[in-house]
Structure 1
């Protein structure tokens, strides 16, 4: 977000610009000029402070997609737009400003969780949509701003339609998605900063423990869902959970690798495609996930 600034109406400026344009063109071009002026007036009327964004709002940035922002253009979701607010939360009011990196670290952790409440099936997101967020700056923090707005924003171009899906999903679909999302959140949220297991065995074992626990919960949830493919996936993930537990209990790096390789392979998203199809969910593995398991 950015420092709060007084609202300055641009309606007068738009009207003057329209009048100048009409006076400067021939009669045959007046209609085009009027239409352009109307479009400009509509855009101005849709401006809203980033401090008043609500979950579900579809918008276009008024400047660059990244950086300090004061306002955005709110548009109907059935129109082309660059982003949609899919979650929000407030940071701790009792603390001093934690710095840009500190604020981002909190948003990195919280926004995926909040976003999945609104759009649980990340496989169904428009191509190129990535999770962004509006956060307080040092200056706005001093005025009491603690709000973080989580958004899915098109890295290029636009998309149309609302991403809202949580309320329209069937119970078995939500059960599957909640369990699956928790597994991959446990995997990436607990990823060690070290590339080699030998450099941080304790960190990698902690990650394995978290993934094993998430898998146990996911497998339990799948037990209440009927379907041949769901049953097959449940068996695969049960085996995966066992290997993640072995990795979590590994005495050394070699033992960890022995368990980790099959554990990681068995949570390959491609192995869940058939079950997803059976449940009526999106079946195209997101490019970034496909790339990870492609090696």
Structure 2
């Protein structure tokens, strides 16, 4: 201890050597360490805890939703309600997004006004019909009568989603000759669609290609029909198409021969010949000896059709180039009409042998020389179609009326 007589000892220099009898700072014995603050007062703290920055306020979610619905204009009433609620929440909670809520409310109000106007004027129903039409066309492409096209993969078989329209004057995979619509609620199945096409495409073919002799032998009938998926969207259309029997071959030139491409005299002759062919195609499937009453009724129909077509061909005044040729055809038809009358009488008498005799004579005029000369005089095709083996007697002339095209 310093001598009291010498007065107080000077304060030690904190930066100089320690005074006699003192330990250097930081080296005091255990239990005698100083816990003071030799480096001055503590650092000041921030006013908001440990974060040196102020936290931003959150954006109101309803304001964002209101703006989205206002832009999309899909649910304008909902967007307007959300915008009003968002403004109230922003004022109460101090959130941001006031501009979003105002913009969403304005856009939703405009959208709601448009919807009300559309409903009042009927514009909504027109738009809905347009939407359904667009959905249908998106599910099943549409081709119309008279168009020619190329199919993907150069094949008319299988599932097709789209085709490329091309001019009929050049090579193409198919030519549309007609279409019809199916009815019903549930999809009837692929077999039902095929049966409907077989039934209804044939008369459409006769109307589009009236001169069946002009159809190439390698041409067959195909169709586009609805699928189960497109049916659900309202697709009911079946499209009838000409295509080549060889999937690797194409067609060239249009096969159209109807009232838009033929003259009056050609149309008159073809209508008469085609009407009679339609009756001949109704021949019973069994043999006459197995179904003589059926053949009797059918023979009467053939007789009546001949009588009607004879009158149709005698009515007009034919041009000089075809007058004699058509007259010769009419005479052959009159003779055939007499043979079919005798066939009816034989069937009524249950005389099968006599029926066969008049049946064969009645068929002699069909596609005979007078038909060829009349066609040639009017500028129609003159090459007879080929018949199947059952209907071909080896002479190239038909004997049963069954025609493969």
Deviations 1:43-91 (A, max 9, x none): xxxxx97641100110223243234433323211122012200111223
Say whether residues 1:120 and 2:216 are aligned partners: no
CA distance in 2, matches of 1:119, 1:256: 34
Q: How many residues align?
A: 245
- The structure 2 residue matched to 1:211, chosen from 296, 302, 310, is 302
Contact in 2 for aligned 1:121/1:282 (Cα 8 Å): yes
Deviations 1:202-243 (A, max 9, x none): 333343233333322322221125311111111111221232
**1:166-185 alignment to 2 at 5 Å?**
166=258, 167-185=260-278
- The structure 2 residue matched to 1:150, chosen from 225, 230, 240, is 240
Partner of 2:252: 160
Say whether residues 1:86 and 2:182 are aligned partners: no
Indicate how the Cα distance of structure 1 residues 105 and 262 shifts in structure 2: closer, same or farther if over 3 A, else same. farther
Say whether residues 1:134 and 2:224 are aligned partners: yes
SS in 2 for 1:86: strand
- Uncovered stretches (5+) of structure 1, i.e. residues with no partner: 1-47
**1:62-101 alignment to 2 at 5 Å?**
62-63=152-153, 64-91=155-182, 93-94=183-184, 99-101=189-191
- Uncovered stretches (5+) of structure 2, i.e. residues with no partner: 1-137, 395-405
What RMSD in Å do the two structures reach over aligned CA positions? 2.8
* TM score, norm. by length of structure 1: 0.72
CA distance in 2, matches of 1:95, 1:242: 51
Larger Rg: 2
SS in 2 for 1:282: coil
Contact in 1 for aligned 2:266/2:378 (Cα 8 Å): yes
How far did residue 138 of structure 1 move?
A: 5.3
How far did residue 97 of structure 1 move?
A: 5.3
SS in 2 for 1:287: coil
- The structure 1 residue matched to 2:339, chosen from 243, 246, 256, is 243
SS in 2 for 1:148: strand
Partner of 2:196: 106
Say whether residues 1:276 and 2:375 are aligned partners: yes
More helix by percentage: 1
Partner of 1:201: 292
Contact in 1 for aligned 2:148/2:167 (Cα 8 Å): yes
Indicate how the Cα distance of structure 1 residues 103 and 210 shifts in structure 2: closer, same or farther if over 3 A, else same. farther
SS in 1 for 2:304: helix
SS in 1 for 2:156: coil
Contact in 2 for aligned 1:126/1:159 (Cα 8 Å): no
Higher relative contact order (CA 8 A, sep 6+): 1
Contact in 1 for aligned 2:171/2:251 (Cα 8 Å): yes
How far did residue 269 of structure 1 move?
A: 4.8
Indicate how the Cα distance of structure 1 residues 100 and 171 shifts in structure 2: closer, same or farther if over 3 A, else same. same
SS in 2 for 1:193: coil
Contact in 2 for aligned 1:208/1:248 (Cα 8 Å): yes
